[in-house]
Amino acid sequence: MRSRPVAVLGCLIVLLASCAEAGEQSGDPTGIAWELTEGTVDGQPVPIVDGHGITLSLTDEGVGGTAACNGYGGRYEIAGDQITFSELFGTEMACTPEAVMESEQTYLRGLLLVDTFSMTDENLTLSGEDVELVFAALPPVPMADLTGTVWVLESLVDQDSVSSVGGERATLELFSDNSMIGSTGCRDLHGRYETTGADVTMPELAAEGDCPPDLQAQDSHVFSVLGDGFRASVEGQVLNLSSSRGLGLVYRAEP
């Protein structure tokens, strides 16, 4: 005769637990750099093009990242497991192949359809009617390894092609006060950098000097990688910078 109250109590416990889980926020996605691994918008997959990744970071300043080709930003609001994005804006570069621009446009359209999120330690899923975007967490920028070192440029990377460096000694120095100086091999560089999630951007970047014809392509390559924003990795004495357009730079620490 006592089994019924116990069973009823057990059901109440299960119901209360379910309600608690339904009302809990699944985690805090802010302060983490995320990269899109897969997604669908209106039943169609979001094209993901090698060398043209899509990233997302949520900070006190808003949402930001790289949308395959262009950098983007905007506003977001979180309440429990609800999240919405609005007032998106971005730079206006055109990238090739055509699939890159298709990837960007599909992703940004999907972001505006999102209304809920769920996450684990390593993944974030943004969902809504006719949209699901799945991201993986990225490691933060290794600033302790980047700053305080004179990096000397060794190679220019363009997709799968690697070429040597000419001209005068080309360098890059990042300082803890967010200032930077360097050289393309023919022009001196100076400016300021910022970190957003896993990416480094240089909203203030200026060059001084002139380049001879044989170094103009190198100068443009270096300026593009630094100016477009890049992802950095340090392995021993080697620094690799890669941009969303498939361009890269390889530096070595000055002895």
CATH code: domain of residue 151:
2.40.128.270
Task: Average the pLDDT over 136-153 and give the result.
Answer: 92
| Whether residue 148 sits in one domain with residue 129 | no
Split at pLDDT 50, 70, 90, the class of 12 is very low
| Alpha carbon distance 65, 73 (integer Å) | 7
Question: Alpha helices, DSSP H only, in the chain?
Answer: 3-23, 98-111, 143-146, 216-228
| Whether residue 118 sits in one domain with residue 153 | no
Judge whether residue 185 has pLDDT over 90. Answer: yes
Choosing from 76, 104, 138, the residue where a domain stops is 138
| Whether residue 129 sits in one domain with residue 66 | yes
| Whether residue 221 sits in one domain with residue 128 | no
Burial class (CB in 10 A: 0-12, 13-18, 19+), 245: buried
Higher pLDDT, 226 or 5: 226
Look up the pTM and report it: 0.65
Q: Which of 90-94, 118-122, 162-166 has the highest mean pLDDT?
A: 162-166
Taking alpha carbons only, the member of 244, 222, 218 closest to residue 231 is 244
| Whether residue 150 sits in one domain with residue 133 | no
- Asked whether residue 3 is domain-assigned, the answer is no
- Asked whether residue 12 is domain-assigned, the answer is no
- Asked whether residue 15 is domain-assigned, the answer is no
pLDDT for 26:
65
- Asked whether residue 209 is domain-assigned, the answer is yes
| Whether residue 121 sits in one domain with residue 156 | no
| Whether residue 186 sits in one domain with residue 120 | no
- Asked whether residue 233 is domain-assigned, the answer is yes
| Alpha carbon distance 138, 118 (integer Å) | 17
Which pair of tokens denotes residue 16? 């209360």
pLDDT for 220:
97
| Whether residue 245 sits in one domain with residue 200 | yes
- Asked whether residue 6 is domain-assigned, the answer is no
Secondary structure class of 244 (helix, strand, coil): coil
| Whether residue 98 sits in one domain with residue 184 | no
Domain of residue 167 covers 143-253
Secondary structure class of 53 (helix, strand, coil): coil
| Alpha carbon distance 81, 28 (integer Å) | 9
- Asked whether residue 4 is domain-assigned, the answer is no
- Asked whether residue 243 is domain-assigned, the answer is yes
Choosing from 118, 138, 158, the residue where a domain stops is 138
Split at pLDDT 50, 70, 90, the class of 198 is confident
| Whether residue 124 sits in one domain with residue 152 | no
Total domains in the fold of the chain: 2
pLDDT for 15:
38
